[in-house]
Structure 1
Amino acid sequence: MITPQTIEQIKNRLDIIDVVGEFVKLKKRGSNYLGNCPFHNEKTPSFTVSPAKELYKCFGCGKSGNTITFVMEHEKLTYVEALRWLAARYNIEIEETQVSEAQKLQFAVADSLYVINSFASKFFDEQLFNTEDGQAIAMSYLKERGFREEIIKKFQIGYNPQSRDTLAKALIANQFNKELLPKTGLVTVRNETELVDNYRGRIIFPIHGNTGKIIGFGARVIGKAEKAPKYINTPENDIYVKSKILYGSYFARVAIDKADECLLVEGYTDVVSLHQAGIENVVASGGTSLTIDQLRLVKKYTNNLTIIYDGDSAGVKAALRGLDMALEEGLNVKLVLIPDNEDPDSYVNKVGASGFKDFIATNKKDFILFQLEVMLKEVGTDVNKKSDLVNQIADTISKINKVEDFTKQQDYIKQCSAILKIDEGGLTTLVNKYKRDKVAKEEKKQQLSSFDDINAQLVEQPEDVLNDNSALLNVDEKHERNVLRILLEYGLNAFDENQRVADYVFKEMEGFHFDNPQLEIMLEMYRLQYRDGLEPSTKTFLYSEDETIRNLTIAITIFPYELNAGWDNLIDGKKITGQDNSHQDVIMSLNYYKLRKIKKMFDQNQYDMEHADIDGQMQLIKIHKHLKDMEQQITRQLGTVILR
């Protein structure tokens, strides 16, 4: 684990304009910066970055956060991965909390494998671009396949020469650990001590992890494979686990997010060809059955998965594998089969980018219905086989188990029962049976688990209860947010000679409370931190571990508009912008909040008087007078008359 001290050091070094500006073209607009949102397509900029508050918000799609969450969202990284990314950017040495010797060794091995892979990738690149064999053999083959140099460089495609140990000698010459080298799959041990290259005479496709580091390689023969396998892949090791990887996901993550669709193909060259054609929301499974980890990787970016495979029988069977897991993960799965014995690589080169996109758009087939269609052909008129098919389809439909997908499940039952020519009610009953069986199985599994494991399964992530569309907020919540805003922005400023703004706010707030429980929690958090001398600020809450608190902080403190400096020129003798109005802002914000509360107290008191006895009414009349005095005192400060 990264130490709190390191995390704090990273936070203190962050420059949100520097980080966001690497991915978004920003223009200064007043005290903020504006640009086109990287999370959705827009022509009119609505993505606002505040360097003072260290936050961003898109007023188009609603995405918001701080520097760390921006890196997490844009680069699709975990919190720890984002911290490491930022630490590397600012040359901050990461300190880890105390770990076991075994863990230290594991981390050291992983770091070494990354370094070796990085060196090897540069070596392969050098061999491809700067050697005679690389140009004559490998580059000519790649260009014959239609790959241009810019796409080759983007994916860092390289070449391992045919000679026995060119790479092995280079690795040894650079003093890499000989014991670790075979673990990378780059070299093989012969005669107990001799190291020889494992990918001789092959095109090399580096495989990138979520952070862009090279975690492994795929090595393809040049031309047709006869005796040797077409591809050799890195063996699984500390950093490369095949079941958790989709080739090209690092390059496709932003495009998938924007398109809200992931295209899944089989091979490396399919991915590279489609990227070259401008179709970038594509990844490859490597021709193996989809795993749950790969499906969850897709789900990080989108719920829509379109599988594009060859139209032969092997391609169909490959496509159908993993369907049930995809449905359980809540993915909307479509299937496209490429015609005429083509694959995505050859087909996009044949019909062009626009033709390929049109073909995909018009030939998507629903996965469940396609599976039913394929299986019906195999069943024919065999009654027993049809019975098995009905059970299999019911089992598949039962995997659609999320509450929000209930309507989708009912639609499948209706369509499948019509195709199978069976009773809809009967299929519904069968689907429900499979669902009950699954629940019973899960319950039994949980009973065998430890108490801690059960608790871990039952923990729910806090929901984002924030609705930061201010037009939908009620008046009370707007005033409550405004009180929090002045605390976050001015709380540590001096209010007068004797007290800070926070002291004044808490004194004026005595006897009042927020109706919104989340805002009340934030207010209490500020109060406790302030009382303990921690000097809370916008930044404190912006980097809270609680996502709801972070989102509320952004919604409270950033706005889509600000005063234009041109007002100072239009109104002679008045400095409108850049003026410190914090003192007046605090007083007015608190007074309007209290007036709103007093109005509600009036209404409640009036209702109570109408339903009270004589003694009760006398007491309530006193309360009415006290509230009236409070109201008049506030309105005199504001210079406002309240009409009823």
Structure 2
Amino acid sequence: MISPATIEEIKNHVDIIEVVGDYVTLKRSGSSYKALSPFSTEKTPSFYVVPSKGIFKDFSSGKGGDAITFLMEIDGLTYVEALKYLAQKYGIEIKEEEQSDEALEAQNRKESLFILMNFAKDHFQHLLWEEEEGKSIGLTYFRERGFTDESIKDFELGYSVEAWDHLLKTAEAKGYKRDLLEEAGLVVTKEGGKVYDRFRARVMFPIHNISGKVVAFGARMLGKDKKQPKYLNSPETELYNKSRVLYGLFQAKQEIRKEDRVYLVEGYTDVISMHQTGIKNVVSSSGTALTADQIKLIKRYTDNVTVIFDGDAAGIRASIRGIDMLLEGGLNVRAVALPDGEDPDSYARSLGATAFSHYIDEESQDIIRFKTKLFLKEASDDPVKRAALIKDIVRTITKIDDPVKRTVYLKECSDLLGISEQALVAEQNKLLIQKSQEQRKPNDRFDGPPPVQPQDMLIADGQEADQLDIVKVIELQERESARVLVNYGKSSIVTQEEVSEELLSYFLAEVEEIQFTNPVYKEILEIFKRKLSEGVIVDGDYLLDHGSEAVKREVVNLMTSRYEVSENWEKKFQIYIPKEQDHLKDITYSNILRLKFRIVQHLIAEENKKLKEATDIEEIDQLLDEIHEYKKIEMSIAQSLGNVTVK
């Protein structure tokens, strides 16, 4: 485990703007920075970074935390891996100390898998370059495909020999355990216990994660055994989830940022061939349909995608169906089809680097025009097919969020399809209304109280308390209490008795007999109490370091505001907007009153339930007396608040 001193040093050096800025384009917004969420396919920025607090908050996905949490979320790193990444980034020496046996075992297991995959990659490379079978079969194949030795080494290509257990024996001789080899997907155990290599007599394409570590392999068969698949991939493991990986992204990510565009192709060899032509901002979905996670990966680096289709009309029609997902992901999509019988690998070798790049630039079209022309040929004069085509094209256009772009595309499609623009607009509006209705369907899941101010939930004149869900309203008030403590617990206030006192001490004394109902807010309150009993007043930063995962997530919410009053109101227009910290006395006092007010309402509701079920006269009299006393307290608090009417 990394020592606390080292962790503290890493946190002191980290600039969250630098860390997050490696993944998303941040724009200043007041004292914060904002961007489109890297975790969702939103169209309006709701991802905020607050450098003064060292935290980020993504309002679209709910994720939030510090720079370490961001790396864990964005790259799927463990806590220790994120710390090591930051230590390397800022040149900090890692000092480690002992950790629990369970945590150490889990960490070592994952590290062992990475080490084993790297060993396998080195093993396959050695066979390719040093062993006779690898050189005569694997290396010859790559060179015949036109791959240079430099490209072969850059992509760390290799070869697996035609033997049942060559890797297994080599790995075990080096001390690697058989169960780890199976967990990594490198060997297979048949019924009966026979163990053999998964990859045999194949050229090997290592698949890297975004950090450059090998997590899986793609393998192409060179023989003519029709019983074996042409391509064989690693199974999904702890390291490898194929829906979250794009082949070549590690090698391409810097060039994608530089060019602000990515080329999307189908296979491993397509990626490598295009690299050799000088087009290095290229990735592959590895022959599988695009997934939402892969689209999010792309969007981290650019909003512009050009899809390159092989020169096969049937194949284009089959694969273009998934392009709508790119549009839904908020990406600007262009497409280009290669001549019949060609793919990026073969055509790049045929034309050469300059001519191939020129062809891509000249022939690419926006995806709507491309799709319309493609299916228009198929529809020909068949009215049924033509009607289906029109609906399909309009459905694709509705995936585009920008209404101006939609209008332009509808006009263009009207000309191409020979149908009135009004008819297309009518179909579009029908689909948009349907989409809007689907998005407004109620969501029954409750993930905690929404970020609204409890004072917005005050009981209106003439409204009975039991008409509200008082329990949830209490939870909202508990959230507001936690928010005040997290942000201002170290501040001082002048109490109602005109005595200067620490806000935290005053608050805790006033709510000493109150038990919070929400477990997260209760834990936050208990941490404040415990540390105060030790003579220490803590704040949100302490909770981010020492709280549970649930507490850390909620503290980020409590410390982050999506909206901020522009400083221009005061500087430019001389309009002074009161700041919350200037009114801590009133905020704290009224917050405590509202919390007590809601609790009293809840007690009244509970007593009324008992009263309805009571049959004993003495019990009824006692309940009536208690309700009367609670009502008096409720009225007193309501009058103190000054804006609540209670019947």
Partner of 1:504: none
Partner of 2:375: 375
Q: Secondary structure at the residue paired with 2:140? A: helix
Alpha-carbon separation, structure 2, partners of 1:385 and 1:144:
44
Alpha-carbon separation, structure 1, partners of 2:182 and 2:116:
11
Alpha-carbon separation, structure 2, partners of 1:181 and 1:362:
48
Alpha-carbon separation, structure 2, partners of 1:254 and 1:139:
28
> 1:628-639 alignment to 2 at 5 Å?
none
Whether the 8 Å CA contact 2:3–2:95 is kept in 1: the answer is no
Partner of 2:256: 256
Alpha-carbon separation, structure 1, partners of 2:2 and 2:319:
41
Partner of 2:94: 92
Q: For residue 413 of structure 1, what is the amino acid of its counterpart?
A: L
Alpha-carbon separation, structure 1, partners of 2:395 and 2:153:
46
2:418 maps to 1:424 = no
Q: CA deviation at 1:409?
A: 0.9
Q: Secondary structure at the residue paired with 1:283? A: strand
Partner of 2:353: 353
Deviations 1:453-472 (A, max 9, x none): 8959xxxxxxxxxxxxxxxx
Q: Secondary structure at the residue paired with 1:167? A: helix
Q: For residues 440 and 106 of structure 1, do their structure 2 counterparts lie closer, same or farther at Cα, with a shift above 3 Å needed?
A: farther
Alpha-carbon separation, structure 2, partners of 1:533 and 1:164:
61
Q: For residues 244 and 429 of structure 1, do their structure 2 counterparts lie closer, same or farther at Cα, with a shift above 3 Å needed?
A: same
Partner of 1:326: 326
Alpha-carbon separation, structure 2, partners of 1:333 and 1:394:
16
Partner of 1:296: 296
Q: Secondary structure at the residue paired with 1:116? A: helix
Q: CA deviation at 1:219?
A: 0.7
Count of paired positions = 428
Whether the 8 Å CA contact 2:255–2:280 is kept in 1: the answer is yes
Q: CA deviation at 1:82?
A: 5.0
Q: CA deviation at 1:8?
A: 2.1
Partner of 1:412: 409
Identity of aligned residues (%): 42
Deviations 1:563-602 (A, max 9, x none): xxxxxxxxxxxxxxxxxxxxxxxxxxxxxxxxx999979x
Q: CA deviation at 1:359?
A: 0.4
Q: For residue 412 of structure 2, what is the amino acid of its counterpart?
A: Q
Alpha-carbon separation, structure 2, partners of 1:179 and 1:302:
40
Whether the 8 Å CA contact 2:125–2:156 is kept in 1: the answer is yes
Task: Kindly report the root-mean-square deviation, in angstroms, between the aligned alpha carbons of the 2 structures.
Answer: 4.6
Q: CA deviation at 1:165?
A: 0.8
Q: For residues 598 and 82 of structure 1, do their structure 2 counterparts lie closer, same or farther at Cα, with a shift above 3 Å needed?
A: closer
Deviations 1:62-87 (A, max 9, x none): xxxxx979x97xx9898966544134
Q: Secondary structure at the residue paired with 1:370? A: helix
2:108 maps to 1:111 = no
> 1:534-553 alignment to 2 at 5 Å?
none
Deviations 1:274-300 (A, max 9, x none): 212221100011112111111111111
Q: Secondary structure at the residue paired with 1:321? A: helix
Q: Secondary structure at the residue paired with 1:334? A: strand
Q: CA deviation at 1:327?
A: 0.7
Whether the 8 Å CA contact 1:68–1:79 is kept in 2: the answer is no
Q: CA deviation at 1:380?
A: 2.7
Alpha-carbon separation, structure 1, partners of 2:97 and 2:369:
53
Partner of 2:645: none
Q: For residue 243 of structure 2, what is the amino acid of its counterpart?
A: S
Q: CA deviation at 1:432?
A: 1.9
Whether the 8 Å CA contact 1:181–1:187 is kept in 2: the answer is yes
Whether the 8 Å CA contact 1:68–1:83 is kept in 2: the answer is no
Q: CA deviation at 1:258?
A: 0.5
Whether the 8 Å CA contact 1:307–1:319 is kept in 2: the answer is no
> 1:21-100 alignment to 2 at 5 Å?
83-87=83-87, 90=92, 92=94
Whether the 8 Å CA contact 2:379–2:385 is kept in 1: the answer is yes
Whether the 8 Å CA contact 1:10–1:92 is kept in 2: the answer is no
Whether the 8 Å CA contact 1:289–1:321 is kept in 2: the answer is no
- TM-score, normalised to structure 2's length? 0.58
Deviations 1:425-450 (A, max 9, x none): 23212212212212211222x43x31
Q: Secondary structure at the residue paired with 1:287? A: coil
Which stretches of structure 1, 4 residues or longer, exceed 6 Å deviation after superposition?
1-5, 13-16, 75-81, 94-99, 103-106, 531-534, 596-601
Alpha-carbon separation, structure 1, partners of 2:232 and 2:143:
22
Q: For residues 230 and 545 of structure 1, do their structure 2 counterparts lie closer, same or farther at Cα, with a shift above 3 Å needed?
A: same
Q: CA deviation at 1:156?
A: 1.0
Alpha-carbon separation, structure 2, partners of 1:95 and 1:390:
65
Alpha-carbon separation, structure 2, partners of 1:177 and 1:226:
32
Q: Secondary structure at the residue paired with 1:422? A: coil
2:454 maps to 1:452 = no
Alpha-carbon separation, structure 1, partners of 2:327 and 2:4:
40
Q: For residue 430 of structure 2, what is the amino acid of its counterpart?
A: K
Q: CA deviation at 1:6?
A: 5.6
Q: For residue 452 of structure 1, what is the amino acid of its counterpart?
A: D
Partner of 1:309: 309
> 1:255-294 alignment to 2 at 5 Å?
255-294=255-294
Deviations 1:544-577 (A, max 9, x none): 989x99xxxxxxxxxxxxxxxxxxxxxxxxxxxx
Q: Secondary structure at the residue paired with 1:163? A: coil
Whether the 8 Å CA contact 1:288–1:318 is kept in 2: the answer is no
Q: CA deviation at 1:15?
A: 11
Q: CA deviation at 1:315?
A: 3.1
Structure 2 unaligned blocks of 5 or more: 20-53, 55-65, 452-535, 542-554, 561-569, 576-647
Whether the 8 Å CA contact 1:289–1:318 is kept in 2: the answer is no
Q: CA deviation at 1:347?
A: 1.3
Q: For residues 261 and 123 of structure 1, do their structure 2 counterparts lie closer, same or farther at Cα, with a shift above 3 Å needed?
A: same
> 1:383-532 alignment to 2 at 5 Å?
383-400=383-400, 402=401, 405-444=402-441, 446-447=442-443, 449-452=444-447, 455=450
Alpha-carbon separation, structure 2, partners of 1:193 and 1:410:
63
Q: Which stretch has the larger CA shift, 280-289 or 103-112? A: 103-112
Q: CA deviation at 1:188?
A: 1.5
Whether the 8 Å CA contact 1:77–1:211 is kept in 2: the answer is no
Whether the 8 Å CA contact 1:114–1:213 is kept in 2: the answer is yes
Q: Secondary structure at the residue paired with 2:212? A: coil
Q: For residues 333 and 170 of structure 1, do their structure 2 counterparts lie closer, same or farther at Cα, with a shift above 3 Å needed?
A: same
Structure 1 unaligned blocks of 5 or more: 20-54, 56-66, 457-530, 537-543, 550-595, 602-644
Q: CA deviation at 1:340?
A: 4.0
Deviations 1:323-353 (A, max 9, x none): 1111111111111111141211121111111
Q: Secondary structure at the residue paired with 2:9? A: helix
Alpha-carbon separation, structure 2, partners of 1:225 and 1:12:
59
> 1:202-213 alignment to 2 at 5 Å?
202-213=202-213
Q: Secondary structure at the residue paired with 1:236? A: coil
Deviations 1:389-421 (A, max 9, x none): 222222211111x3xx22111111111122222
Q: For residue 441 of structure 1, what is the amino acid of its counterpart?
A: E
Q: For residue 323 of structure 1, what is the amino acid of its counterpart?
A: I
Whether the 8 Å CA contact 2:324–2:396 is kept in 1: the answer is yes
Alpha-carbon separation, structure 2, partners of 1:453 and 1:201:
55
Partner of 2:586: none
Alpha-carbon separation, structure 2, partners of 1:128 and 1:85:
32
Q: Secondary structure at the residue paired with 1:378? A: helix
Q: CA deviation at 1:167?
A: 0.3
Whether the 8 Å CA contact 1:3–1:97 is kept in 2: the answer is no
Q: For residues 277 and 385 of structure 1, do their structure 2 counterparts lie closer, same or farther at Cα, with a shift above 3 Å needed?
A: closer
Q: For residue 447 of structure 2, what is the amino acid of its counterpart?
A: D
Q: Which stretch has the larger CA shift, 184-193 or 211-220? A: 184-193
Q: CA deviation at 1:108?
A: 5.2
Q: For residues 364 and 598 of structure 1, do their structure 2 counterparts lie closer, same or farther at Cα, with a shift above 3 Å needed?
A: closer
